[in-house]
Amino acid sequence: MTTLYYHHPDFLNHHPGADHPESPERLKSIAHALQDSQFNGLKKVLAPLDKDAEAKIRLIHNQAMIDRILKTQLTEHDQHLLDYDTLLSAGSAQAALRAVSAVCDAVDKVYTQQAKNAFCAIRPPGHHATPQQSMGFCLFNNVAIAARHAQKHHGLQRVAIIDFDVHHGNGTQAAFYHDPTVFYASSHEMPHFPGTGLPQETGVGNIVNVPLHARETGESVRKKYTQIIFPALRAFKPQLVLISAGFDAHKDDPLGSVLLVEEDFRWLTTELVKIAQQQCSGKIVSVLEGGYDLKALAASVAVHVASLLKA
């Protein structure tokens, strides 16, 4: 078995604006980095477009929200504002449907042992999208939908989501706040957008929030994972580990002030792989979230995917 790398040209057709940090160039930088010979073992997968994608989205989101995205008619040069930094373009709906299709297909392939793990290089990202509202660059909550899909279609009782994006995944937390069958742990800068993710936000004991401060170092972040997040994840005994893989906690990222470097992302991934191997035969699906300095993003994704390949 190998590591799957999901990609598709449709993901480049979501255009949130010329000066928007969540640009198609992000995926181009990742694709270039993963052309290196060390990634020859990756199995590249063109993300499918599932005819039942909308039904899968309804596992998390309400119909009114879905209709706002899928039924807004736009010409090639139009844009439609969903909130102050979240926009639709003519290609956004197709990209969003294919993103959902990719993460669900990755869950299917990994859970049925057709692959050992997967990295989904998709956009738009998802972890800020609540069940009722698209926000924070995010249209549909890809990783939340993947978790529900794993439960509905594979009968899983315990799905874990680990989110190391520099921003708190308020949408993912909202989706599962009262659901003990999904564990959600997030490390994120505070005070920072979206303003959620305090340690006392614990759901029904299934939510673990670990705030980080500006200029926090990799050594400090590793200690918090070792002392707080990893023990809670082990205690949950997940049957599948999903990663909201945001790389904007890198020291060079323009939207965060945490000081992680590539080796910190390598360490995080390697440790998550170890836990997944102990708990669920290594079943991991990683889903791209943030990361807005193109050079830092490409380098960070490279070590992340290399760690998945070595699993």
The catalytic residue positions are 128
Tokens (6 digits) for 128: 């800020």
- Helix (H) / strand (E) element for 241: namely strand 240-245
| Cα angle: 50, vertex 127, 271; to 5 degrees | 100
Q: Is 155 left (phi over 0), alpha (psi -120 to 50) or beta?
A: left
Dmax (CA) for the chain in angstroms is 51
Rounded CA separation 147/167 (Å)? 20
What letter represents residue 214's amino acid? A
Q: What is the 3-state secondary structure (H, E, C) of 59-82?
A: CCCCHHHHHHHHCCCCCCCCCEEE
Instruction: Report the DSSP beta bridge partners of residue 285.
Output: 118, 242
Query: Residue 125 CB: number of other CB atoms within 10 A?
Result: 29
Residue 131, Cα to own-chain centre: how many angstroms? 16
- The set of residues, in sequence order, having a beta carbon less than 8 Å from that of 39 and lying 6+ positions away, is 5, 302, 305, 306, 309
Rounded CA separation 43/76 (Å)? 33
